[in-house]
Structure 1
Amino acid sequence: MTDSDETPLWLFSLKFYSLEGVRESLLACQDCSGANINIVLFMLWIAPHRRVLSLDEVREIVSLTRSWSKNVVFPLRKIRQSLKKTEEGIVAKDSALLREKIKMLELEAEKIEQRALFEAYDINCIGKLGLETGATAKANLKIYEQLLKAPFPEPNLEFIVETISRGLH
């Protein structure tokens, strides 16, 4: 994929993820609740458009990404994370180089997943019209929590909602 393949969702995700504290909060939601960060980012991306999702729409979004996440993104992540521990007899710099290459593949796989989300849903048609950005983001994330049957860590959820409420400048 090239830069011309970047969707507005992907560009938003890169910018939002780079904000101070966001990465850690998103990873906490992933680690504690089993959340797919790409789905969380999609929900945050639609929040400024005031689109509130239904439980059925969130189920559909999860279903759309499930196979790709399970068969491509998660295995790449697991391999990358396992390379944090250098195996006996393996040169650390070689392991780090391989880990970085796998990280790039993982990012490319996430970009493909986000493209699927972007192309599957019209921002003007999905969900119903909601209120302000923060309330919309929180409503969408609470529905996702309900589907996961695992709450997000409250401080992380609040931080993410507050951050999206401030907007991206």
Structure 2
Amino acid sequence: MSQLADNPFWDYSLVHYGRSEVARACLELQEGVGANVNLVLFCCWLGSFGQVLTVQDLDEAEEVIRDWNEQVVEPLRGVRRFVRSEFAGFADQEWPQEVKQLELRAERVVQNRLCNWWQTKYGSSRDTGSTNRSEPGGEQQLQNLNLYLSRTSDITINYGSPLVWPVASAKPKN
């Protein structure tokens, strides 16, 4: 359950998901077909620097995060949704924000597990932190996203999607 001090996947996700249209697209996939937002972002991140996932990779990635997702992330998400829908009048109090922050910390553990797994499996043979990539990875993002989504739905992502954003070197604003 270690936290990576430097997790390029987390850095990418903060910037990419921070775009309102990306957040909206991710949440629509989560609500509509049960997609795991962290896996959607993982597909985008890897594709952004030309990495293509296989069916076996996706199987392994899902297994790496399954327990933490089921035992921690999903229950926290349920608490946050319940608080938001049933107790909207309490939105200005501290504890709903604390639940949201705890959920975010749990999501970071998921992303750390995915990043650790990928880097352990492929080591330095696949570059996951390049800042000097000259070619966009839009095609690879599409391949990864569509492979992942084909497992549970008939949705196809195309180049018009806000999810396709090939900036592997993006860093969060300070």
Partner of 1:116: 113
Q: Please report the TM-score for the alignment, with normalisation by the length of structure 2.
A: 0.78
The question of 1:92 aligning with 2:92 is answered: no
- Alignment check: 8 A CA contact 2:43 2:144 kept: yes
Q: 1:153/1:100 Cα in 2 relative to 1: closer, same or farther (>3 Å)?
A: farther
In proportion to residue count, which structure has more helix?
A: 1
Aligned length: 158
How far off its partner does 1:97 sit?
A: 2.6
Q: 1:157/1:107 Cα in 2 relative to 1: closer, same or farther (>3 Å)?
A: farther
Separation in structure 1 between the aligned mates of residue 143 and residue 12 of structure 2, nearest angstrom: 20
- Alignment check: 8 A CA contact 1:29 1:153 kept: no
- Alignment check: 8 A CA contact 2:72 2:106 kept: yes
Q: 1:4/1:71 Cα in 2 relative to 1: closer, same or farther (>3 Å)?
A: closer
How far off its partner does 1:24 sit?
A: 0.4
Q: Which ranges of structure 1 fall in alignment gaps of 5 or more residues?
A: none
Match of 1:141 among 140, 145, 153: 145
Secondary structure of the structure 1 residue equivalent to 2:162 = helix
Secondary structure of the structure 2 residue equivalent to 1:65 = helix
The question of 1:159 aligning with 2:156 is answered: no
Aligned-residue CA RMSD (Å): 2.9
Separation in structure 1 between the aligned mates of residue 139 and residue 12 of structure 2, nearest angstrom: 19
Q: Please report the TM-score for the alignment, with normalisation by the length of structure 1.
A: 0.80
Partner of 1:60: 60
Separation in structure 2 between the aligned mates of residue 157 and residue 143 of structure 1, nearest angstrom: 17
- Alignment check: 8 A CA contact 2:80 2:96 kept: yes
Separation in structure 2 between the aligned mates of residue 73 and residue 103 of structure 1, nearest angstrom: 11
Secondary structure of the structure 2 residue equivalent to 1:121 = helix
